Structure 1
Amino acid sequence: MPDDVPLAPVAPTSHTPPPLLHRHAGDAWVACGDHRHWGLFGAAGLLLARREPAPADGDPGRVAAVVLQHRALWSDQGGTWGIPGGALAPHEDAVAGALREAAEEAAVDPADIQVLATYVLEHPAWSYTTVIAEVAPGAVVEPAAADPESLEVRWAGLTELGALPLLGAFADALPALLAVYEGDTTILGGPPSSGTR
């Protein structure tokens, strides 16, 4: 199916998916053991952070908020919060796929962010890549729901994350993913480090 086929109009509050959901050849379910996952070629999402203003000592500042997507009710695990993301297109690398999905779903311009790292969750027949990024110096990112896959897309402060119903796998990985911003690369397969990059 061509990339430019639009989604049919549907309210994100509907429990029924739109009749025309597929945007590219990767948009389909994959059987993986006793589960199924979205994305024939895997999937990827963007964990985008905004830091507090940098202190005078040159420290980049602590992470204050991340962009979260409140998933449409018709979607898998609808009503939960996660990061913008989705199925990879054929021959699309994970970073490009995550940036494309964030632009489509959350109106995030890839020019306004800098990628710090990637984390791959491997399954026997599928993988999900979290692209860990932050707002580029001098850039301003105002995320917004840009398609019917979201009830809402916004900055969520770290202090409110515990009160939101997070997508299960995202909730499990979130503490280790956030630690990457503070220089702990354990989840990436490397030893913890003292820097932020």
Structure 2
Amino acid sequence: MSSGDGFITVQDGSMRWGRYGAAGVLVRCDGHVFVALRSPHSHHGGVWAIPGGALNSHETALEGALREFAEEIGVHLTDYEVAIEHEDDHGGWSYWTIVVDLPARFEAPDRLHWETSATNWVTLAELVELDLHPAFRATLARLGLI
């Protein structure tokens, strides 16, 4: 196993985090979605997004997204149904958004990973009013969720 931590230059010349790509999980339940406020100390800090990060060399997008969720939020998702697996291909590097549905909401622990300042369950109407990570907002629109 090789860690995916590190930046990579993609075809358009921009830098992306995750040597093997990256993935995040959007959790839905009872008309709400779970979002995280990125810490000011993290890349794109101060905006709302989904927990996610670099894929390791051996991981599928789903495995990496679930691992990142557990690392950043402290919750291991087990009873879920995958609704959407969306690949945003940047030419040799991809970000995967995995949308999962849960039968019941969970409460995030009070103590969060340093990359996350806060978490919340919000409706889609509330979600569009938040200061969202631009790529997250674009993905939500592409998926027809907002």
The TM-score with structure 1 as length reference comes to 0.67
Aligned partner of 2:14 in structure 1 is 35
2:112 paired with 1:146? yes
Spell out, residue by residue over 1:121-151, the C-alpha distance to the aligned partner (whole angstroms, 9 max, x if none): 001121011111011x3x4422346311101
Question: Which letter maps to 2:141?
Answer: P
Question: Which letter maps to 2:131?
Answer: P
Spell out, residue by residue over 1:152-174, the C-alpha distance to the aligned partner (whole angstroms, 9 max, x if none): 12212222112211001111111
Which of the residues 29, 35, 59 maps onto 1:50?
Answer: 29
Mapping 1:22-171, distance limit 5 Å: 25-32=3-10, 33-51=12-30, 64-135=31-102, 137=103, 139-144=104-109, 146-171=112-137
Structure 1 residues 48 and 178, CA, compared in 2 at 3 Å: closer, same or farther?
A: farther
Q: Which moved more, 1:140-149 or 1:156-165?
A: 140-149
* C-alpha distance in structure 2 between counterparts of 1:36 and 1:158, whole Å: 30
Work out the percentage of aligned pairs sharing the same amino acid: 38
**Structure 1 ranges of 4+ moved more than 2 A:** 143-146, 175-179
Question: Whose strand fraction is larger, Structure 1's or Structure 2's?
Answer: 2
Asked whether the equivalents of residues 143 and 155 of structure 1 are also in contact (C-alpha less than 8 Å), the reply is: no
Structure 1 portions without partners, runs of 5+: 3-23, 52-63, 180-197
Question: Which letter maps to 2:8?
Answer: V
- Partner of 1:111, secondary structure, is coil
Aligned partner of 1:18 in structure 2 is none
Structure 2 portions without partners, runs of 5+: none
Larger-gyration structure (1/2): 1
Q: How many angstroms does 1:75 deviate by?
A: 1.3
* C-alpha distance in structure 2 between counterparts of 1:69 and 1:166, whole Å: 10
The two structures, once aligned, show a CA RMSD in angstroms of 1.8
Q: How many angstroms does 1:96 deviate by?
A: 0.4
By relative contact order (CA 8 Å, sep 6+), the higher-ranking structure is 2
Spell out, residue by residue over 1:11-68, the C-alpha distance to the aligned partner (whole angstroms, 9 max, x if none): xxxxxxxxxxxxx6211011112311110000000011112xxxxxxxxxxxx21110
